[in-house]
Every structure is written in C-alpha cells, then in structure tokens.
Amino acid sequence: MSSTVFLSMTKAIEYLGDASNAQRMLGTLESTLETEVPRIASAIETQNFTNLQKIWHQLKGFAPVFCHDHMVAEITQTETLCKRIQLPDEQAAALKASTQLLKHLQEMLSEVKAQQAS
C-alpha cells in the first residue's frame, strides 16, 4: 500500500477484518466525502456553525476506521470549536479550523480515489 497522509487502509483492514471489506467500505467513504465536501464549503462560507458541528460529528463516526490518528484528533477538535462560537475569537478559530479540515478532507478524498484506482 502506498503512503498516505490522511487515509489509513491498515487501520481500516484491522477494524473491518480484511482487505476486501475495507475496499468495499472505501466506496462509501468516497461517496460521503464527495457529498460532504461541498456542504462543508457552503457552511464555512455562510458561517453556519450548527451545520459544521453536525457534519464534523457525523464524520467523526468513520474517522477511527479510515483515518490516521492525527486526522481523528483534528475532526474532534474542530467539532468542539464549532460548538463554542459565542465570541468573535471563537468564531474565527472555528472557521480557521474548519477551513483547514476541509482542505485535509479534500486531500483525503484524493487519497481515497487513488486507493480505489489501484
């Protein structure tokens, strides 16, 4: 398996039991990311922290299966930031973290597509 920054097929295989199950579930991850990436971008643009928090919470469900530990931590931290957005500094921190995480999810989607093609 090639080296990836965000996607961990090793973790997926360990979690799901074998490579064929992991490969099948990868398609679900791909379609989820393809759907959620535009929704995240829109929520960031409109500063809709409620939607962002909901999306991060949902993505936290697959993260332990398919993501390296640093990505799991980033999703969890960003979700927490989006829950606490009363002050301008908190809004700025949540937007910055969400924007960075969106970039990482886009990169992860590229890694998933590359894995699917191999």
Q: Is 7 strand, coil or helix? A: strand
| DSSP summary character for residue 47 | T
Query: Is there a domain that residue 4 lies in?
Result: no
pTM for this prediction: 0.93
Query: Is there a domain that residue 103 lies in?
Result: yes
Q: How many residues does the chain have?
A: 118
Instruction: Output the pLDDT for position 45.
Output: 98
Query: Is there a domain that residue 1 lies in?
Result: no
Q: How many domains does the chain have?
A: 1
Instruction: Output the pLDDT for position 2.
Output: 54
Query: Is there a domain that residue 93 lies in?
Result: yes
What's the gap between Cα 81 and its chain centre?
15
Q: What domain range is 66 assigned to?
A: 9-117
Place of tokens 């759907």: 35
Query: Is there a domain that residue 38 lies in?
Result: yes
Instruction: Output the pLDDT for position 89.
Output: 92
Instruction: Output the pLDDT for position 1.
Output: 44
